[in-house]
Amino acid sequence: MDWWKDFFDEDYVTAWSAAGSFDNTAKTVDDVERLLGVPAAASILDIACGFGRISGPLSARGYRLTGIDFSATQLALAEQRNPGPRYIEADMRNPPPGRFDAAINLFSSFGYFADRGDDIAAVRAWAAALRPNGVLVMELMHRDLVAHLYGQSVDHGGPVSEEGVTDWVTGVRTATVTHGAITKTFRMRLYTVTELVGMLHDAGFQQIDALGDLAGGPVSPESRLVLRAVK
């Protein structure tokens, strides 16, 4: 059930890079910076920072970045490829102590735990880590988009393929991504936009905006989901 403990190795980076998942990083950083709207030198917590592809560029722009990830492999890559931030090996349910001006949780880095209560605990921990008026930006898949795109299985073709099944009762999707000899299987709990907004409200966020992308487009069953929440 804890597939995420050893999933994020170098094969993950290779396969997802081949799929184009990390393309347009510069624009992503621009959009995240605009959405956050925090002053220069603000302290930002990157939750599930991976190899630092967002933390590193934000740090280079003068923000004080702390990136946390459970994967020691990803953090080692972050130090090599995107130095500058403070990188810490940590569970997203237990962020480092201190008050941050903002937090980011990007690229569907949510819904990994077997128990829904752990997702709730994570969001509450993020809220506690923020100062009053602190901003959280999440970017992820939502349940309606998965239903629209995938149904039960999908094959993207090209160098990377994905096949999976969604349990519409539990809301958990299990999928396997294949790239040559690389095979990676993951599980993700899916939430509706309404459920996620309610979860953030319950965690202590007051103002929550739901968008369809980091550029501020409208949310729909055909878009991804961006949530901007102010504590």
- Confirm or reject CATH 3.40.50.150 for domain 4-141+191-230, answering yes or no: yes
d(CA 96, CA 67): 10
Tens of pLDDT, residues 76-104:
999 999 999 999 999 999 999 889 999 99
Helices (H) and strands (E) in the chain, counts: 8, 10
* CB within 8 Å of 116: residues ≥ 6 apart: 189
Tens of pLDDT, residues 107-158:
999 999 999 999 999 999 999 999 999 999 999 999 999 998 875 445 555 6
Strand pairing report for 207-211 and 225-230: antiparallel
pLDDT value of residue 116: 96
Residue with tokens 């690389």, as numbered in its chain = 182
pLDDT value of residue 95: 97
Average pLDDT over residues 154-173: 82
For residues 134 and 161, the model is more confident at: 134
pLDDT value of residue 151: 55
Q: How far is it between the farthest Cα atoms of the chain?
A: 48
Q: Which two tokens stand for residue 125?
A: 């921990």
Tens of pLDDT, residues 30-80:
999 999 999 999 999 999 999 999 999 999 999 999 999 999 999 999 999
Residue 209: pLDDT band by 50, 70, 90 thresholds? very high
d(CA 100, CA 135): 9
Tell me the percentage of the chain whose pLDDT exceeds 90: 89
Residue 159: pLDDT band by 50, 70, 90 thresholds? confident
pLDDT value of residue 152: 46
Task: Look up residue 112 and give its amino acid.
Answer: Y
SS3 127: helix
pLDDT value of residue 131: 97
CA torsion angle 42 214 229 219 (round to 10): 170
- The domain ranges of the chain are 4-141+191-230
